[in-house]
A and B are shown apart, each in its own frame.
Chain A
Amino acid sequence: MKNFVLVFFLFATALSVQSQSLSNISAKNIEGKTIALDQMDDEKPLVISFWATWCLPCMEELGNVNEKIGDWKTEKDFNFVAVSIDDPRTVNKVKTVANGKSWEFDQILLDPSQSIKRQLNINNVPTTLVYYKDKLIYSHVGYVPGDEDDMFEKVKEAL
């Protein structure tokens, strides 16, 4: 009985430790290199922003982040990854949009078959997640101006 209780307790603990882990999730970046997300989740917090070239609020959010990211990083360093869920219809536009808009993110990843989106249980774009040491510490769905500031506050709190 005791053993049963012990095993039950351990299982229950396991179930309570819940969040989408980043292990085993990788994708190609716009340079064609394969990037593993858990390798970017190091000593610095990792922000993952799901977007698409055809999604207006996503473009608004990433444009505003891009304007501020230089200043933010001098204040507190973190990694910022923009994961495009553009499918084969628009995936070729991702690199041109990112360069055309002079985005300075750490990585821009391509998820044309939406496997990362499925692995992290993302329903819609834009969705922004903040991870620190493989734990999800903040998220927002949708975007209104000012959300990016809340996100950075959480990044600062994490450190």
Chain B
Amino acid sequence: MKLKLLPLAFVLAHSFINAQFSASLESNNQYYVDDSKIKLAENEAEERFRSNSYLTMSYKIGKFTVGAQVESYEPKALLNYYPEFDGVNVGTFYANYNNEKGLDITLGHVYDQFGSGLAFRTWEDRQLGIANSIVGGEVKYSGADNLYTLKALYGKQRVGFDWTNSTIAGVDTEFQLAKAFNTDAFTSSLGLSFVNKHESDDDYFVDPPKDVSVYGVRLNNEYKNFYLNLEYLYKTKDAIKMATEVDPVNFYSGNAVNLMFGYTKKGFGFNGNIRRLENFNLYSERNLIGNQYNQAVLNYVPALTKQFDYSLANIYVYQAQPQLTFFPQKKAGEVGSQFDLYYQFKKGTALGGKYGTNISLNLANWYGLKGTYRVYEDYNTVKTDFWSWGEKYYSDFNVDIRKKLSENWNSALIYIYQDYNQDRIEETSGRVYATTVAFDNIIKLNKSSLKVEVQHQWADSSYKNWAAALTEFNFMKNWSIFLNDLYNYGNDVKEDQLHYYSGGIVFRKNSTRVQASYGRQRGGLLCVGGVCRMVPENTGFTLNINTTF
């Protein structure tokens, strides 16, 4: 190295001194076995050991960050993941520049969302096998004092280890209206979104629209303890799914209205949400519309119901029904509402007792859209009424009371009532009315603690009654052991009256958590954020490793 290059090397080296490398590893491994009741399906039985692992690395030098995620599905991905998650490969990579003055540029894989995500959201959910980043670039800019923000992105969407044939372009802006008027008496922001997917012709489709666009406008307001957010979105004509195939002939537009409001003060909170969706799912590729693996999803349409913490309440889970379809059922979307109320009875009051009591109520109702459907051999139409509610898809009501009973004993009592229209949600048949009660306790014992949870569900059909219990003992600071059982004792079919038991041990230290267990997993929908993945019931050994370094 020539001497005159030394200063340059020094500057470079100096900047590297301030560099940070960080990484995290998540590895979920399973060895499936057959027991007397549950056996692995024949087509899956060849590979009994399955593993999904993710190594995420980032390296930050001043204003630059580079990162990548290596994913391994070896020898095969866990049961019922998207089959293209196969082998070892680089899942995502990116380079980012952020000048700390409002400019942020990313090249590579981009995760982001516009507004509430109804127009555009990319995210990763490893349990569901969702990793739908845009491979391309994004520029974000925030004007002085965050008066406005602008985002623009362009690229293709990740599907498995590949990406879609279509290209995605998106622009989102947000203006702080109250700031512009120089007032801080209230806050108000106006947001505008535009998302476009461009996809070339395809022999399967008859004259499909090459461009599908979503236009969105949103207004968020806050005044003292109140808030009111309203958004409207419109989607231009796109294909729809009919039973197992995407309709090659008919294309339909869609729209969404979302209203959120609430009031909050210390010890009290209220939220309301009303939403109407008509043909409002969005996929980056026509062929993948409505696919069971949640691949190529471009927007986020969560079910607006309470996300339940207790296993029995997660048997009949509502999934948002934004889709238009004429076969096997006629559906055009959903309309409904959700309300939440939180209240804290203060310490020293009659209901608050010595330590205070927290109570929360939640109520949700979801219906199909009422409309006139006309079905011809190869031409179908629908005309919906804007606020007419059709058949009920789902409702629930739940009460959650949490109270500290003594210095070392926290308890919770939960009541959940669900009305689940299986016929319309799962497109099978039946309707289930289920009542679930859970009693949850955490008791502190010197330096250890014990969790004891019991649940019962009364259901009039489908699986009928369940009883469940979970106990977990945490000891020596870093260790936990747990035993869990869900017993479907009320099932009409005697052979299906199964115990879904599991037991295991957990070790935690700093940023590392290792869990080893053995047991049975109930089959059905595994849902995160109201987005679900079907898992078959199975028995086996599980080893999960999670660490950041």
Name A's B-contacting residues (CB within 8 A): 3-4, 6-7, 10-11, 13-15, 17-21, 23-24, 32, 34, 53-56, 60, 63, 87-90, 92-93, 95-97, 99-102, 112-115, 118-124, 127, 138-142, 144-146, 150
Number of interface residues of B (CB under 8 A): 79
What chain B residues lie within 8 Å of A115 (beta carbons)? 111-112
- B111 to A146, Cβ gap below 8 A? no
- B60 to A100, Cβ gap below 8 A? no
Q: Which residue of A lies closest to B451 (CB)?
A: A144
- A88 to B113, Cβ gap below 8 A? yes
Task: Let me know if B165 is at the binding interface, CB within 8 A.
Answer: no
Task: Let me know if B371 is at the binding interface, CB within 8 A.
Answer: no
A60–B453 Cα distance when bound, in Å, is: 14
What chain B residues lie within 8 Å of A119 (beta carbons)? 58, 65
A27–B161 Cα distance when bound, in Å, is: 30
A95–B342 Cα distance when bound, in Å, is: 11
What chain B residues lie within 8 Å of A150 (beta carbons)? 477
- B302 to A141, Cβ gap below 8 A? no
Task: Let me know if B385 is at the binding interface, CB within 8 A.
Answer: no
> Could you give, for residues 1-25 of chain B, a 1 whenever the CB lies within 8 Å of some chain A CB and a 0 otherwise?
1000010010011101111111110
Which of A54, A96, A114, A145 has a CB less than 8 Å from the CB of B264? A96
Name B's A-contacting residues (CB within 8 A): 1, 6, 9, 12-14, 16-24, 26, 56, 58, 60, 63, 65, 98, 100, 111-113, 116-118, 121, 123-124, 146, 187, 222, 227, 229, 260, 262, 264-271, 273, 300, 302-304, 307, 309, 340, 342-344, 358, 360, 410, 442, 444, 447, 449, 474, 477, 480, 506, 508, 510-513, 529-530, 546, 548-549
- A145 to B17, Cβ gap below 8 A? no
Given A19-B20, A21-B20, A127-B511, do A96 and B342 touch, yes or no (CB 8 Å)?
Answer: yes
A96–B362 Cα distance when bound, in Å, is: 13
* Distance from B517 Cβ to chain A, minimum over Cβ atoms (Å): 15
**Other contacts beyond A15-B19, A88-B113, A102-B266: 13, CB < 8 A:** A14-B13, A24-B60, A24-B100, A88-B117, A89-B302, A99-B264, A100-B360, A101-B342, A102-B267, A114-B111, A124-B513, A138-B510, A144-B474
Q: Which residue of B lies closest to A13 (CB)?
A: B17
7 contacts between A and B (CB under 8 A): A21-B60, A89-B530, A92-B271, A100-B264, A100-B343, A121-B58, A146-B474
Which of A34, A97, A102, A123 has a CB less than 8 Å from the CB of B26? A123
Q: Which residue of A lies closest to B269 (CB)?
A: A96
- A142 to B508, Cβ gap below 8 A? yes
* Distance from A113 Cβ to chain B, minimum over Cβ atoms (Å): 5
* Distance from A22 Cβ to chain B, minimum over Cβ atoms (Å): 10
- A100 to B269, Cβ gap below 8 A? yes
A1–B212 Cα distance when bound, in Å, is: 60
- A144 to B449, Cβ gap below 8 A? yes
Given A112-B113, A113-B112, do A56 and B309 touch, yes or no (CB 8 Å)?
Answer: yes
A15–B358 Cα distance when bound, in Å, is: 48
- A18 to B342, Cβ gap below 8 A? no
- A54 to B309, Cβ gap below 8 A? yes
- B13 to A10, Cβ gap below 8 A? yes
- A145 to B444, Cβ gap below 8 A? yes
What chain A residues lie within 8 Å of B360 (beta carbons)? 100
Of A13, A18, A55, A100, most B-chain CB atoms within 10 Å: A100
What chain A residues lie within 8 Å of B222 (beta carbons)? 32
What chain A residues lie within 8 Å of B265 (beta carbons)? 99
A54–B529 Cα distance when bound, in Å, is: 9
- A99 to B268, Cβ gap below 8 A? yes
Q: Which residue of A lies closest to B64 (CB)?
A: A24
What chain A residues lie within 8 Å of B480 (beta carbons)? 144
Given A87-B529, A101-B342, do A14 and B113 touch, yes or no (CB 8 Å)?
Answer: no
Given A20-B20, A87-B117, A96-B342, do A146 and B477 touch, yes or no (CB 8 Å)?
Answer: yes
Which of B449, B506, B511 has a CB less than 8 Å from the CB of A146? B449
What chain A residues lie within 8 Å of B112 (beta carbons)? 113, 115
- A92 to B262, Cβ gap below 8 A? yes
What chain B residues lie within 8 Å of A89 (beta carbons)? 300, 302-304, 307, 529-530
A88–B121 Cα distance when bound, in Å, is: 10
- B17 to A100, Cβ gap below 8 A? no
* Distance from B219 Cβ to chain A, minimum over Cβ atoms (Å): 14
- B340 to A93, Cβ gap below 8 A? yes
